[in-house]
Amino acid sequence: MKNKIWLITGISSGLGKALAESVIEKGDFVIGTFRKQSQVDEFNEKYSNRAFSILLDITDEQSIERNVEKLVSKFDSIDVLVNNAGVGFVGAIEETSMEETRKVFEANFFGTLKLTQAILPHMRNEKNGHIVQISSHGGIKAFAGFGIYNASKFALEGFSEALSQEVEPLGIKVLIVEPGPFRTNFAGNGLGEAEKVIDDYSDTAGAFRTKLKGVDGKQEGHPVKASKAIIDAVYSENITLRLPLGKVPLMTIGMKLDSVKSDLKKNRKIAEQAVYE
């Protein structure tokens, strides 16, 4: 089995960094993206001949198009795309400005969508490839104070689920990874917060904000173990559409499924009556 070439966005820290290092350790080749030139230079010096990194702003469409063309020309093909780059954000819906919302969606949804679209023609040409979308258990289950982030990940999951059906006949597989809380910088300096604070939401969104920041550095998730699970999934012959990672997602996603099933059961007769006879 030939070694794969991976394109992983956002490898400066957290899960992206752990995944890049685990892929390199396995013997596959990593193309990673950073947002600082100093990080690019340091990475390329450290992993010469085993990996390569570029400067890429996931929110810049022209930068995505330009870099993908250069990479495909340089490496012939990209076997695995991992859309990892993104941002965290907390704040009640009413507290969050449209500008703050757009910034979250530019990184978590539009940037991921654009890069996926840019890579797809090359994977279609090869009739092979994996697209790994780093979502969240918050892409299935929403939480008070996390609504804008939830919305961006719900959107990611929606297009990825449809995409999996579109590209499966073309030899391309899609994997949606749904991590719970992991011991990364997500809840630390990397977490965005709504500038506006409304006291009426202190017991809901405010409590969630405090709780999320309070678990920084204490999360259950192990980035390296998660990375190896992702690699194993990509190499698996029986890849599933979704891959929850951690004990918390098993609980929260299970709660969401139970809630939806309960609503379906309670409203079945109403739903059945809302049709032409």
Catalytic residue among 149, 164, 173, 227: 149
149 among known catalytic residues:
yes
- C-alpha span between 154 and 151 (Å, rounded): 5
Please, is 252 exposed, middle or buried when counting C-beta atoms within 10 Å of its C-beta (0-12, 13-18, 19+)?
buried
269 among known catalytic residues:
no
Catalytic residue among 4, 17, 141, 153: 153
- C-alpha span between 222 and 136 (Å, rounded): 15
What tokens does 225 get?
Answer: 């173990």
- C-alpha span between 226 and 219 (Å, rounded): 13
Residue 113, CA distances (Å) to 11, 66, 212 in order: 18, 16, 27
HSE of 76, CA atoms in CB hemisphere, 13 A:
4
**Angle of CA points 44, 48, 51, to nearest 5°:** 75
247 among known catalytic residues:
no
Q: Closest Cα to residue 44, out of 36, 58, 54, 29?
A: 54
- C-alpha span between 104 and 171 (Å, rounded): 31
What tokens does 267 get?
Answer: 């409203």
Q: Closest Cα to residue 83, out of 150, 19, 155, 10?
A: 10
Question: Contact, 219 vs 181, CB < 8 A?
Answer: yes
**Angle of CA points 83, 88, 91, to nearest 5°:** 145
Catalytic residue among 135, 136, 152, 160: 135
Task: Give me the active site residues, please.
Answer: 135, 149, 153
